[in-house]
Amino acid sequence: MFTLTKKADYGLSMLSVLASRGRKGRVNLKELAEMGMPRAFMSKIAASLVENGILNSREGKGGGYGLNYEPKEIQVREALEAIEGEVEPVTCGGCPVEDSCGQVSFMDKLTEDINRLLEKYTLEDLAK
């Protein structure tokens, strides 16, 4: 079953808040904590998003995190990869019958379809 990790869920929630505010909008860790997101965890997620070029950070008054691009320019898949690493919704690695299993090609196709779908949606869609 394909599920999002808590890390991905929180990261997309943060990006959804930012997407609703547009490229010039900002959010800080205190505000995210007030929304129920764990501050320390969000700090790590935000650092990953900054490192991968999706967010920028600014300290001081009016600081916090902001998007580097318009929400419609950032694919959900790109955001998930910045948060989690490579997106592999379905994997068969390590299965003892992988070499003789008839499901491998189906699972590969399913992974491709899910990734195409994640590329179709943007942060703008998250904010709707």
57 sits in which H/E element: strand 55-58
**Among the CATH numbers 3.40.50.300, 3.40.640.10, 3.40.50.2000, 1.10.10.10, which is that of 6-127?**
1.10.10.10
Q: CA 103: distance to chain centroid? A: 28
Q: Which two tokens stand for residue 11?
A: 């990261």
What are the boundaries of each domain within the chain? Answer: 6-127
Residue 65: closest CA among 40, 41, 31: 31
Q: Residue 48: pLDDT above 70?
A: yes
Rounded Cα gap, residues 11 and 65, in angstroms: 12
The model carries a pTM of 0.88
Q: Among 3-7, 72-76, 119-123, where is mean pLDDT lowest?
A: 3-7
Residue 96: the pLDDT is 79
* DSSP single-letter state for residue 27: B
- 47-14-16-83 Cα dihedral, nearest 10 degrees: 40
